[in-house]
């Protein structure tokens, strides 16, 4: 009985750790998204409103930089919110089963 209770505690701790990591990733994404929004505002002010913002870090914000940053934000969001649906644990389990089945078939063909 004690062994079962210990396993349940371990499982709960593992799930809690996974949940905390997921929350931390979401928090980091929103912080990055907030900084990106500030960068977009500065880029629009600099490029389209001709506001003379030419000090060190803002001077290097150009269209190429913004496209790259947008791509990074998009990839980060897709990995965070859609990654588990497409390439999550279920996909991994199915892929392992598929490879094991292929190996079993190969072994049967050699016999």
- The end-to-end CA distance of the chain, in Å, is 46
Residue 19 has pLDDT above 70, yes or no: yes
CA dihedral (70, 72, 75, 79) positive or negative: negative
Across the range 83-103, mean pLDDT stands at 77
Q: Is a pLDDT exceeding 90 seen at residue 10?
A: no
Domain boundaries of the chain, sorted by first residue: 2-84
């Amino acid at each position: 009985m004690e062994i079962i209770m210990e396993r349940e505690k371990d499982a709960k701790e593992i799930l809690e750790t996974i949940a905390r990591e997921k929350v931390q990733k979401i928090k980091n994404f929103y912080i990055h998204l907030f900084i990106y929004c500030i960068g977009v505002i500065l880029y629009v002010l600099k490029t389209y409103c001709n506001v003379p913002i030419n000090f060190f870090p803002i001077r290097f914000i150009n269209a190429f930089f913004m496209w790259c940053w947008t791509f990074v934000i998009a990839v980060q969001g897709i990995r965070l919110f859609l990654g588990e649906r497409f390439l999550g644990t279920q996909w991994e389990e199915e892929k392992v089963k598929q490879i094991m089945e292929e190996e079993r078939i190969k072994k049967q063909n050699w016999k």
